[in-house]
Structure 1
Amino acid sequence: PCAALTAWRALVDEGDLQAGETVLVQGTGGVSIFALQMAKAMGARVIATSSSDQKLAKLEALGADVLINYKTHEQWGKAVLAATDNEGVDHVIEVGGGGTFSESVRATKLGGHIALIGVLSGPSVKEIILPRLFLKQIRTSGIAMGNHTSQQAMVDYLEKTDIRPVISHTFGFSELAEAFQLQMSHGHFGKIAIQTEP
């Protein structure tokens, strides 16, 4: 699936994830959930953010080590620093966009990597303290899935693990409008599947 390949490219191809490193995943969409599962399988520590304590509990069940509700911790980057002895994370799966990027920079360690994947909170960054970005020597990568070679490597890896897509809801093709309504309401956890009808 596209979400898994995007997570793979962010963590493996661009991030060179190593066991013992720390990964921050944002939210409970398909990319973040695949990134969580992959990072744990590769021996990383995972910090997860969400606006819902109920969804954070589900992330914990999938293996997240540290949970941060960004509604109750607006400057959640500080909470990430507190959870990492003020060091920061090695990798950020940045799906929020403009509304989360500054906190992602705050949460990233010296020499860390931010994989820019989505713009769920908007495409424009309100404020970023540029010296924080370059003084911390943070590397950023724009991620839009991957190529065939990456896909084959990912499939070969996934076949050796128990990583599976997390399907929140399944809709028939005739229920497409309801599926989009669910997505827009942020009521899902993981992927929304559309089943083609015979």
Structure 2
Amino acid sequence: HQPKGYSHAESATLTTAGLTAWRALVVDGGIKPGNSVLVLGSGGVSVFACQLAKSLGATVFATSSSNDKLEKYKALGADHLINYKEDPEWGKTVRKLTDGRGVDHVIEVGGPGTLPQSINAVAIAGHIALIGVLTGSAGEVPTAKLMAKQARLQGLIVGSCSDQRDFVRALEANGVKPVIDKTFGLEELADAFRYEESGKHFGKICLAF
């Protein structure tokens, strides 16, 4: 069932982006209040992960190539904002901001092009949820550094029905609503795909018909 008070468009964001973020942080990650979370980019999973992490009492680090999107992250409660184009060594920056400790959880959506920096950023015995491959489907992994960090790198795709039921109960308790960047009519489907391809969106793109 959809959460009480949710529209159909809001509910449509839950079964993929929302549930993936929930599984990464709660089911697989076992997030606790006081943990730190790094979210990469501003797609649906990362934005939802920021919202969930803040609702669970975590400190959030957010990266984007757009300062305007970073301001939107700030409005969602993100604690530290990093423009990865201006700061290509953002993994090192995250460690500095955590006094050398690193973050407990990384929402990794880039794949091989960003994974080395994510491994730099993660804490010893931390958790990297490998969700996306925006920079390619294969590439080199700094295995020695991953081993030295004793970090857990876990791939995941969405989640189970029971995960989703738990997720919905949590949303009803914490009042989190998804960020919908723009809604298109069904006849504007091609425009919706073009908008997604442009990378201008922050959060989810929805269709209404």
Secondary structure at the counterpart of residue 192 of structure 1:
strand
Q: What are the within-5 Å matches in structure 2 for residues 24-63 of structure 1? A: 24-63=38-77
2:27 to 13, 17, 31: 13
Distance 2:79 2:36 in 1: 10
How many pairs align? 195
Aligned to 2:11: none
1:165 to 171, 178, 194: 178
Structure 1 residue 143, shift from structure 2 partner: 1.2
Aligned to 2:147: 134
Distance 1:104 1:61 in 2: 24
Aligned to 2:81: 67
Residue deviations 1:127-170 (CA, integer Å, cap 9, x gap): 43211101111101111110011000000111011211111111
Aligned to 2:114: 100
Residue deviations 1:48-96 (CA, integer Å, cap 9, x gap): 0000000000000001000000000111101111111011000000011
Distance 1:187 1:34 in 2: 17
Distance 1:61 1:121 in 2: 27
Secondary structure at the counterpart of residue 64 of structure 1:
coil
Distance 2:113 2:137 in 1: 8
Letter of the 1:93 counterpart: I
Distance 1:128 1:3 in 2: 25
Distance 1:66 1:82 in 2: 12
Distance 2:79 2:42 in 1: 15
Distance 2:113 2:192 in 1: 25
Secondary structure at the counterpart of residue 56 of structure 1:
helix
Q: Which runs of 5+ in 2 are unaligned?
A: 1-13
Letter of the 1:191 counterpart: K
Q: Percent identity?
A: 53
Aligned to 2:8: none
Secondary structure at the counterpart of residue 93 of structure 1:
strand
In the superposition, the TM-score normalised over structure 1's length comes to 0.96
Aligned to 2:134: 120
Distance 1:14 1:141 in 2: 8
In the superposition, the TM-score normalised over structure 2's length comes to 0.91
Secondary structure at the counterpart of residue 61 of structure 2:
strand
Aligned to 2:5: none
Alignment RMSD, CA only? Answer: 0.8
Q: Greater relative contact order (Cα 8 A, min sep 6): structure 1 or 2?
A: 2
Q: Which runs of 5+ in 1 are unaligned?
A: none
List structure 1 runs of 4+ shifted beyond 4 angstroms: none
Asked if 1:146 corresponds to 2:162, the answer is no
Letter of the 1:45 counterpart: T
8 A Cα contact 2:112 2:141, kept in partner: no
